[in-house]
Amino acid sequence: MGSNSFGSVFRFTTWGESHGKEIGVVVDGCPPGLEISRERIQEALDARKPGGSAQVSPRMEEDRVEIVSGLFDGVTTGAPIAMRIANRDVDSSSYERAKSVLRPGHANFTWLKKYGIFDYRGGGRASARETAARVAAGAVAEALLESEGISIIAELVQVGDARGKEMGRRIERAMTEGDSVGGVVEVRCLGVPSGLGDPIYEKLEAKLASAMMSIPATRGVEFGMGFEAVTMRGSEHNDAFIKSDRIRPESNMAGGIQGGISTGEEIVVRVAFKPTSSISKMQNSVDIHGESVEIAMGRGGRHDPCVALRGAPVARAMAQVVLADCLLIQKSVCNISSRVVSHEL
């Protein structure tokens, strides 16, 4: 339980609101003996921070991370690793004006329905700012994955219906028009050994799908050939096995996962992000009393025309944590069974 935690053995918990004092995260279950520097975490955060390009929100956070526990002489000790990022640039005056408005595409309506109370300043806890904490946790996971030769890449591969160089222009055009546009992020996991993920309900796809759909603004997730597999025949989609240096699937339609367990091939996940909800175009809505209002959210505020751009490092971080978790779970299985079972493969 705990809706602000993610992972089972490698597990993190986040806190903090968009316009509160800080965003924080505590990582539990990280093995001892890993070298983790503040710089590693900072570097990961810099890759997602706002203000980095013309295409993302001009909010001028430094996003400077502080590691407050869990390290001794720069090495993990098995104790929980807590990290915090102060919120320095907290101008919530623009939110004050519109605090009773039910913003189209935003979560304040459902939070009010659920909790009867909502920290309206900048989206509060529902803000994408929470994802900075995920990136910090992902950077810790990355240190563990690196020690096992696993690396993860995430990139924007589609904006609107454009792929490739055309993508940037779509973002610019949406921005010019005071509007926003959706995108697809592709995550690829390299060097993953076979055997990660657990059958039935803890399948690698199930865990990755849960991880990706927990990112704000995501609308779908697919693996390998994904939705395109629907239009294929079994004879096309089945990955036959061959023997080269080792036995392996010849093709990788499955995207590196078979029966919920990694095959040893590249894992391929794609995540669909909706167009950013906060746009400067005028929109109609009502306030919490049901009175009609017009609202332009992105005008005085600070928003991105394509939230998928900043979704890429977050999707990467979530994949890092999922794989670190699966890796630790798998260690116990194979450490026991290697003594008893002879692997013929």
Site string for a second copy, 266-295 (x = CB under 8 A): ------xxxxxxxx-x-xxxx-xxxxx---
11 interacts with a second copy by CB under 8 A: yes
Report in angstroms how near the CB of residue 144 gets to a second copy at its nearest. Answer: 7
188 interacts with a second copy by CB under 8 A: no
DSSP assignment letter at 276: P
22 interacts with a second copy by CB under 8 A: yes
HSE on the CB side for 139, CA within 13 Å?
28
End-to-end Cα, the chain, rounded Å: 38
Report in angstroms how near the CB of residue 319 gets to a second copy at its nearest. Answer: 14
Nearer to a second copy, 165 or 292 (CB): 292
Q: Are 49 and 69 in contact (CB under 8 A)?
A: no
165 interacts with a second copy by CB under 8 A: no
Of the candidate spans 36-44, 52-60, 90-98, 220-228, the one that interacts with a second copy by CB under 8 A turns out to be: 220-228
- Environment class of residue 289 by beta-carbon count within 10 Å: exposed (0-12), middle (13-18) or buried (19+)? exposed
48 interacts with a second copy by CB under 8 A: no
Which of 65, 126, 132, 187 is the binder for a second copy (CB under 8 A)?
Answer: 126
* # residues near a second copy by CB under 8 A: 161
- Environment class of residue 345 by beta-carbon count within 10 Å: exposed (0-12), middle (13-18) or buried (19+)? exposed
Degrees, nearest 5: CA angle 2-7-8: 90
Report in angstroms how near the CB of residue 122 gets to a second copy at its nearest. Answer: 12
Of the candidate spans 44-52, 54-62, 91-99, 179-187, the one that interacts with a second copy by CB under 8 A turns out to be: 179-187
Which of 225, 266, 299, 301 is the binder for a second copy (CB under 8 A)?
Answer: 225
300 interacts with a second copy by CB under 8 A: no
331 interacts with a second copy by CB under 8 A: yes
Which of 94, 206, 252, 301 is the binder for a second copy (CB under 8 A)?
Answer: 206
Q: For residue 173, what are its two tokens?
A: 């055009």
Site string for a second copy, 95-124 (x = CB under 8 A): -------x-xxxx-xxxxxxxxxxx----x
Report in angstroms how near the CB of residue 191 gets to a second copy at its nearest. Answer: 15
Instruction: Please state the separation of Cα 235 from the chain's center in Å.
Output: 34
218 interacts with a second copy by CB under 8 A: yes
**Rama region for 7: left / alpha / beta (φ>0; ψ in -120 to 50; rest):** left
Rounded CA-CA distance 46/27 in Å is 20
Nearer to a second copy, 45 or 328 (CB): 328
Nearer to a second copy, 57 or 158 (CB): 158
HSE on the CB side for 262, CA within 13 Å?
24
Helix (H, G, I), strand (E, B) or coil at 115: helix
Helix (H, G, I), strand (E, B) or coil at 15: strand
Rounded CA-CA distance 275/278 in Å is 9
Sign of CA dihedral 239, 323, 213, 185: negative
Amino acid at 93: S
Instruction: Identify residues 51-90 at the interface with a second copy (CB under 8 A).
Output: 68-70, 72, 75, 77-82
